[in-house]
Amino acid sequence: MPRLVYVLNGPNLNLLGKRQPHIYGSETLADVEDACRALGKELDLEIRFHQSNREYEIIDWIHAAREQATGIVINPGAFTHTSVAILDALNTFNGTVIECHISNVHKRESFRHHSYMSLRADGVIAGFGTQGYLLSLRRVAKLADEKTG
Ligand code: DHK
C-alpha cells in the first residue's frame, strides 16, 4: 500500500515560474507537482498536492492528513513567518513534517528568518530550489521505511 503524503503550498506559490524568477526559479508549480508524483511512484508514496492563498484551506488539508498520512511536506509561503494557526494545526499531526522553502530564507530579509513552522517541523530545507520538495519526500519515505522496519 503506498504511503500517503500531503505536499502543501501556501500563498503566491501558484505564481511559481512567473514570480521573481531570480529568487524562485523558472519552474512552475505544475512542474513541481509532476516531479513529486514521479518520485512518489519510485518511493511508493501517494501524493496529495495542494496550493492555496487561504490560510484556512491549508489548515483543513492538515486536518485531512491526520490519521491518514505518513507525512506532510509544507511550503507555507509567507504564512511561515506569521501563522500560529498553521503551527497549531501541524501540532495535531503525528507523522513526519518537513518544512520546505525554495529560497534560502536566511540569506533574505530578517523577517523571513523566523519560522513558526520550525517549532514543529522534523526537518527544514531551504535554498535548494524546487529540488527541496524532492529531498523532503525522500526524507519522509526514509523515516516511514525505518518505522515499518
Ligand atoms: C516562499 C515564500 O512565498 C516566502 O514568503 C517565504 C518561501 C519563502 C520559499 O522560499 O519558498 O519567505
State the angle between helix axes of 29-43 and 131-148 in degrees (0 to 180), rounded to the nearest 10: 20
Extract the C-alpha cell encoding 18: 512567473
| Residue 149: predicted pLDDT | 77
Quote the ligand 1 centre to 77 CA distance (angstroms): 4
- Name the residues annotated as catalytic: 24, 101
* Residue that is written with C-alpha cell 517541523 in the block: 121
| List of E strands, 15-149 | 45-51, 71-75, 96-101, 123-126
| Residue 67: predicted pLDDT | 86
Model pLDDT for residues 103-147, shown as the tens digit of each residue? 999 999 999 999 999 999 999 999 999 999 999 999 999 999 999
Residues 2, 46: contact at Cβ < 8 Å? yes
Residues 39, 137: contact at Cβ < 8 Å? yes
Model pLDDT for residues 13-47, shown as the tens digit of each residue? 999 999 999 999 999 999 999 999 999 999 999 99
Identity of the amino acid at 40: G
For 63-76, what is the mean pLDDT? 97
Q: Is 105 touching ligand 1 by the criterion CB < 6 Å?
A: yes
**CATH number at 3-148:** 3.40.50.9100
Domain residue extents for the chain: 3-148
Threshold 0.95, pTM exceeds: yes
Q: Is 12 touching ligand 1 by the criterion CB < 6 Å?
A: yes
Model pLDDT for residues 80-98, shown as the tens digit of each residue? 999 999 999 999 999 999 9
